[in-house]
Amino acid sequence: MKNLRQIMLLVMAVATVSLTSCSKDDDGGSGGGAAQGTIVAKVDGTSVTTIEMATFAHLVSGNLQIQGNTGGTSSKAFVITIIGFDGVGTYPIGGGANIFNIAAYVETEVDLSNPTQPDVTTWQAPYDDTEVGEIKISEITSTHIIGTFKYKAKTEGENYKDITEGSFNIELQEL
């Protein structure tokens, strides 16, 4: 009887450890907090949210493009591209010659007295062969995609932007 009790205690202990140590595979992350139809992120600590009518995701021949814009004459935009997209998971931005995922942050200023000559500045990632960020796809259906992102981007000069706490919750169109 004593041995049976010890065996039962051992089984219960192993079961407890097993159940508490299991976790959901979160390789694709939590999905962030973007409202439906938007992309949100902090750009050098300042929150930026795109508008639904100017935010979309397209999946074309295994390549995913996510894009969103804040609209207006002083707009901000995010453009994220994953080449060889294959579903939920983490996709690095940069990290060598074999990584083709890219992200950009764009600011556009339009002077209404001269609207044909907007001032456009683009920060691009990656900008060298190091890994400068990641995109995590946490959920994808035939009509919707949810995920998070972060990256450091650079202009042609030495001007950098830190894009942090990024998330998206967007309608997906397969073309």
Dihedral-angle region of residue 11 (phi above 0 means left; psi in -120 to 50 means alpha; beta otherwise): alpha
Phi, psi of 174 (to 5 degrees): -95, 125
Say what the pLDDT of residue 35 is: 86
Phi, psi of 135 (to 5 degrees): -120, 130
**Cis bond leading into 115, ω under 30°?**
no
Q: For 91-149, what is each residue's pLDDT tens digit?
A: 999 988 777 899 999 999 999 999 999 999 999 999 988 999 999 999 999 999 999 99
Closest CA relative to residue 131, chosen from 100, 160, 105: 100
pTM attached to this predicted model: 0.80
Q: For 50-74, what is each residue's pLDDT tens digit?
A: 999 999 999 999 999 999 999 999 9
Q: Provide the sign of the torsion angle of the four alpha carbons 11, 16, 21, 22, taken in this order.
A: positive
Closest CA relative to residue 78, chosen from 151, 27, 20: 151
